[in-house]
Structure formats: C-alpha cells, structure tokens
Structure 1
Amino acid sequence: MWKPRFAMDDIAAAVAEGHRPLADWRPLTEGENSQVFAAEDGDLPVVVRACKRRDGFDVEARAAALLAGSADRAPEVLATGPVGDSWWCVTTRLPGVRLCDLPPDRIAAAAEAVAETMRRIHTADVSASTGFGGLDPATGNGRQSAWHDPVPGPDAWHKLSIEDRKLVDALTDLYAADAAALPERRALLHGDFSADNLIVDGDAVGVIDFECARYGDPLWDLAYQLFWAGPWPVMAPQARAAAAGLDDSADTRARVRLHMTAAGLNGAAFYAHDDRVPELQLMLRRLAPLLADPPSLADLDGYWIHPGR
C-alpha cells in the first residue's frame, strides 16, 4: 500500500504528542501517496499530511529553504514526526483554491501567472549545492551525477505484451541517444508542477507539495505539464503559457521530448508495478507519438498535447 489509512483522530494524537494539539481538523483532497487534513495551529491555518515515507517532507523543507526570501509563495514546514509505521508533517496553509478546482475561465486567466511562478522557481540560487536529480534531504545536494533522469530498466516491463514491450524498448533507446547528445542544464525544479499543486488566490499563485523537488533542466517542469495536459486537459492552459516564447530550436524540442519520455516511462512503470492496467495503457498511448521527430513548439496540439485516449 502506497498510502497510509489512519483515522483522523490517530493522526491528531500523534501531532499533539510530537508538536502540539491542533484544532478544527477536517479532511482535504488526498494526494496519490498521502492523507491530507486542514487544521488550525492557534491562529495559523495549517495542513497536515500523513505518508509512508518521511523523505518527501524533508525534501520539501530543503526546497522551502532555497525559496526563502523570494517572491514565490510556498508552505513552511513546521514539524514532522511518526505515526504508526508512517510519518506526519505540518505545514502552513496557503490561502486560495487549487487550480484544478477552478472553473475553466479562471484556469485560463491564471495561466500566465502560473507560468511566471514556475520561471521564478527555476531562478532560485542553487550554487551552494551540487548534483542532479532528487534533493538529498541530509545534504541538500542532488542524488545523481547526470542531469537527465534514469528511466526504468527491463525488469519493470515483464508484464507487458510483446507489442507494448517493443514500444518502451524503442523509447528507452531513443531516450539514451537524446540524453547523450544534449548539454546539461541545472536549476531547481518543482518536479510535480501540476494543477493540483498550485493554489490560486486572486492574482497570486502559490505552490505546494515540493517533495519531488529536484535539480535539472528547467524544461523538465514544462515537459511534465505537456505530458499530462493530454490526459488531464486542466493542465493545458498552464502548459501553453509556459511554452509561449520558448526558443523553438531543435535543441529545445529535443530536451522537451527527452523529459516527456522520462515522465511517461516512469509513470508507466509505476502503474505496471501496481497492476493498474487502464492507467498503464493510457501512459503507453501518450508515449507512442514521441517516437516521431518533434515538430515546432508553435503548434502544441497533436504531438505535444496528445490526448492519449
């Protein structure tokens, strides 16, 4: 099981013991891997999450420190502690509504502010750290030496049909060739810059859930948006705004395809491991167009934002 299943009272008791008692508890929309609650810490609105692993909470604290003093609105990690075989984390609660919960006209209206928020994250000062990939919470450095992501190996695909295996093998080979040919880039990335991790409050945009924060190519966050914009259209306006004005060069297109391929292969491996067949097939349909040479970014439909349905 990826997500803990505690009663709210059990988490409240653990937080009271390890931090202090909180009031006015209520459930919030849960994440893929966590239970989520709103509460009040005195006069301070907070969010409490429970997750099987502590690492993500510690990474979030590291990322918040990198963004401290910037114009970006991100939650502050207040406390972390154990509950049963899992961990809880208390953070400040940003005012506003999740982007994915807004009506379509407001999602579109917020797109440029969302894109600007992403660009600001990518300009955070990371000079005191080294490495690439996910942040090591103990050191603040990246966990890997290469600027591009590792992608799943052959063992991830043993349940696939012969035709599906041919697709992932071809994409893996293409990924390796692109990664070897492209120059490295290094910036702070959110890692999961999706519509459910963005909080809109009037004209202001806040960003939550930095547990996937990483160092790498700033085009990774855009590529992630593009990959998911097909199956989840609520992400399309923010992806279009982020892509507008990019240098539409062969280098840029290759970098975006590289990161979209990694996002899709890792997503497919996750669903394959969990025997979630419909989601796995969606990932494979979304990945298939990426075998073709990338066209211009000026027209994002089709190849770049393919529905994958």
Structure 2
Amino acid sequence: MYQVCRVKGFQKQLIEDGVISSDRSRIIPLQGGVSSDIYLIEDGDKRFVVKRALEKLKVEADWYADTSRNKAESDFIDFVETLRPGVVPKISAKGDGYFAMEFLGDGFRNWKADLLAGNIDVRSAEQAGKVLADIHRQSAGRPDLAEQFEHMDSFWQLRLEPYLLVVAEKHSDLRFSIEKVAFGLKDERIALIHGDFSPKNIVISSDRWVLLDCEVACYGDPAFDVAFLINHLLLKALYHKKYYQELSVLVDEFWCSYKSNGFDLDLKVSRLLPMLLLGRVDGKSPVEYLVEESEKEFVRGFSTETILHPSKDLETLVRFWFKQLSEFQPQSEE
C-alpha cells in the first residue's frame, strides 16, 4: 500500500512538472540499486527512466544518506557527456530530487550479469580503463569542479563509512590501517570520481558502452574508483573459480588501459584494495553472490594478510590473489 501511494504521489509531481502528460502514463518500478527509486515511464509513445534518491537505503542495516546526491549524479552525467558523448545516458529533464534520462533497454546487457553468467569480454574492461582515466585526467586540477562536486559528506555516508569504517570496527587488528586509509581518502581532492565504478553500473550494446549510477560522484581520490572496479573483478573470480584465469586477464586489461591514460596510483590502489574486498564481506553491503562461508573466510584471510603485510605494488597483490585462488577449494555448507 505504501509503495502504491508513493508512486501515485510521484506521478502527480511529474505531471505538475510537465515531465509526463497525464495520470494515464504508466510508472513501473524497476529493480536495481539500494539507494534510489528508479521508474520506467511509458507516456504515449515515449519511454524513459526517472531516478529519485532515497534518504534511507534499501538494506537491512540502518543506512541513511543525503538526497542531494541526485544533483551530484546529474551534474556528473552532464560533465562526462562533454568529454565522451554517449558514454553516459542522455538526460531529458531535471526536477526537485529527481531527473529523467533515456531508457537503455532493448539491446543492452549489464556487465555484472554477463560476468556472473561466465561471459568474459576483455573489450569492456579495456573501455572501462580508458573512460575512467579520461574522466580523472580531464577533471584534475579544476577548482571549479572541486567546488561543484564538494560532496564528500555523501561519499563518507555511502562509501567510506559502510565499506571501511564498519569493517574496522569488526576487525580490531586492522582498525588502525583501515582508518588511516579511510580518513586519507576523506581529505583528498585530486579529481572527479564516480564513487561506484563497478560492473553493475555499466551496460553494453553492440555499439555502445554506457556508465550509470554516479550518485556518489565527488571531487576526491581517483584511487578509489580504480580499486573499486578491480575489487569487483576479483570477487567475480572467486565466485566463478573455473574462469579465474580469464578474469585475471580482465584485471590486467583494465589496469593497463587505465595506467596508459590515467594517474600513477599503484601504491594507493594496492593498499586500498584488500580493505574493499573485506568490505564486501563484512561491511554494510556484502555481495549477494558469495554465499558459502568458506568463500567469505577466503576473503577475510587474504585481506587480513595483505593489510597487515602490504604488497609492494598492485601487480604483486593481484598475482598473490590469483595464486591463492588457484589453491582454494570451496566447501559447501551442510
């Protein structure tokens, strides 16, 4: 009942704002992330998507965030569109707490879904590295963007606190190291970052690669974006152990593509990556596809060792992950 009333109220707002023509327009809730309501709108012969940020996220834990991040997302899309037209969805309208954008439906595949299905596409990883490097490079040293995207409060609420500080509370032996990195990220102002650069936020068609869900965008440390993407690729390799060699190639392609065009982030990424791995097991938003306790213990063991005894560079860290993974034997729970 509450969901129906909420949709009806939002429909009225969209009519008043001139985004849809009448109450005969269909508003269809879409599945997706935990931090926003996302609707497919069918208004006559027009189909588009409307996204509205939520104050309380759709997770079990009490997790709240500033809804002004909706503007941060639309501003990020506007900026990236000037750099690489077509790499982000086209925005058609903006309103109080929401924006409307093109519907990327027929012909598009979600990169995360592809990976979970065992479809390994090296070109997607290479493109991810190029696009991310371009965003970082073109936005660095821009006081105007630093002021426009001063959204560190949202980044803290949605990334640093739930992924790092919550984990630090649970692992007292790692607390000092994790908190040092978290507060360092909070203080950095280097370039525009996406903040949720992961396969679930990338869709692909035969002729287009599109980046979505940039509501955590802020002016911060580019190392976070790089580590965040590699983190997801490593976890997919644990889930799909039989494809771990192919996924190791994906990591290499992404990192080589980024390094050729972006910043030298080797040391920073190698320090942050084990913490993010642990964050997707023991943080506020654990990945849904690692269900065996033995898989979670594998991540905990690897992360603990490499946080307490850091690798000299990212290549060494990633190589160690895949070596450990090659020897890992998952144990199904009774």
TM-score by length of 1: 0.69
Rounded Cα–Cα distance in structure 2 between residues aligned with 1:116 and 1:108: 13
Structure number with higher strand proportion: 1
Are residues 1:166 and 2:173 paired? Answer: yes
Are residues 1:114 and 2:157 paired? Answer: no
2:111, 2:202 within 8 Å by CA — same for their partners in 1?
Answer: yes
- Give the counterpart of 1:80 among 95, 107, 112: 95
**Corresponding residue of 1:201:** 205
Q: Compute the displacement of 1:195 (Å).
A: 0.9
**Corresponding residue of 2:36:** 34
Rounded Cα–Cα distance in structure 1 between residues aligned with 2:132 and 2:216: 14
Rounded Cα–Cα distance in structure 2 between residues aligned with 1:45 and 1:286: 46
- In the TM superposition, what are the counterparts of 1:229-268 in structure 2 within 5 Å? 229-233=233-237, 238-244=250-256, 246=259, 252-260=265-273, 263=276, 268=282
- Give the counterpart of 1:69 among 75, 79, 82: 82
Are residues 1:20 and 2:19 paired? Answer: yes
Rounded Cα–Cα distance in structure 2 between residues aligned with 1:157 and 1:199: 30
Q: Compute the displacement of 1:152 (Å).
A: 4.9
Rounded Cα–Cα distance in structure 2 between residues aligned with 1:67 and 1:45: 23
Q: Compute the displacement of 1:47 (Å).
A: 1.4
**Corresponding residue of 1:275:** none
Q: Compute the displacement of 1:105 (Å).
A: 3.4
**Corresponding residue of 1:134:** none
Rounded Cα–Cα distance in structure 2 between residues aligned with 1:305 and 1:59: 40
| Structure 2: unaligned runs, 5 residues or longer | 56-66, 241-246, 287-292
- Alpha-carbon distance change, 76 to 155 in structure 1, aligned in 2, over 3 angstroms: closer
Are residues 1:302 and 2:307 paired? Answer: no
Rounded Cα–Cα distance in structure 1 between residues aligned with 2:70 and 2:88: 13
Q: Which amino acid aligns with 2:119?
A: D
Rounded Cα–Cα distance in structure 2 between residues aligned with 1:305 and 1:69: 42
1:185, 1:216 within 8 Å by CA — same for their partners in 2?
Answer: yes
**Corresponding residue of 2:102:** 92
Rounded Cα–Cα distance in structure 2 between residues aligned with 1:166 and 1:236: 29
Per-residue displacement from partner, 1:157-193 (whole Å, max 9, x unpaired)? 7973xxx2223334335x389x59xxx7722221111
1:197, 1:208 within 8 Å by CA — same for their partners in 2?
Answer: yes
Q: Which amino acid aligns with 2:320?
A: G
Q: Which amino acid aligns with 1:210?
A: C
2:168, 2:175 within 8 Å by CA — same for their partners in 1?
Answer: no
Q: Compute the displacement of 1:213 (Å).
A: 1.0
2:165, 2:178 within 8 Å by CA — same for their partners in 1?
Answer: no
- Alpha-carbon distance change, 48 to 281 in structure 1, aligned in 2, over 3 angstroms: farther
Rounded Cα–Cα distance in structure 2 between residues aligned with 1:185 and 1:88: 27
- Alpha-carbon distance change, 172 to 205 in structure 1, aligned in 2, over 3 angstroms: same
- In the TM superposition, what are the counterparts of 1:207-222 in structure 2 within 5 Å? 207-222=211-226
Number of positions where the alignment pairs a residue of Structure 1 with one of Structure 2: 277
Per-residue displacement from partner, 1:16-65 (whole Å, max 9, x unpaired)? 33343264543432202223222245655321234324312110122123
Rounded Cα–Cα distance in structure 1 between residues aligned with 2:233 and 2:111: 14
**Corresponding residue of 1:140:** 148
Q: Which amino acid aligns with 2:256?
A: A
- Alpha-carbon distance change, 237 to 213 in structure 1, aligned in 2, over 3 angstroms: farther
RMSD: 4.4
Between the aligned residues of both structures, percent identity stands at 16
Per-residue displacement from partner, 1:67-115 (whole Å, max 9, x unpaired)? 232224212442233xxxxx54422234522212335335344222232
Give SS of 2:76's match: helix
**Corresponding residue of 1:56:** 69
- Alpha-carbon distance change, 239 to 68 in structure 1, aligned in 2, over 3 angstroms: same
Q: Compute the displacement of 1:264 (Å).
A: 5.5
- Alpha-carbon distance change, 289 to 26 in structure 1, aligned in 2, over 3 angstroms: farther
1:122, 1:187 within 8 Å by CA — same for their partners in 2?
Answer: yes
Q: Which amino acid aligns with 2:304?
A: A
TM-score by length of 2: 0.64
2:41, 2:48 within 8 Å by CA — same for their partners in 1?
Answer: yes
1:225, 1:238 within 8 Å by CA — same for their partners in 2?
Answer: no
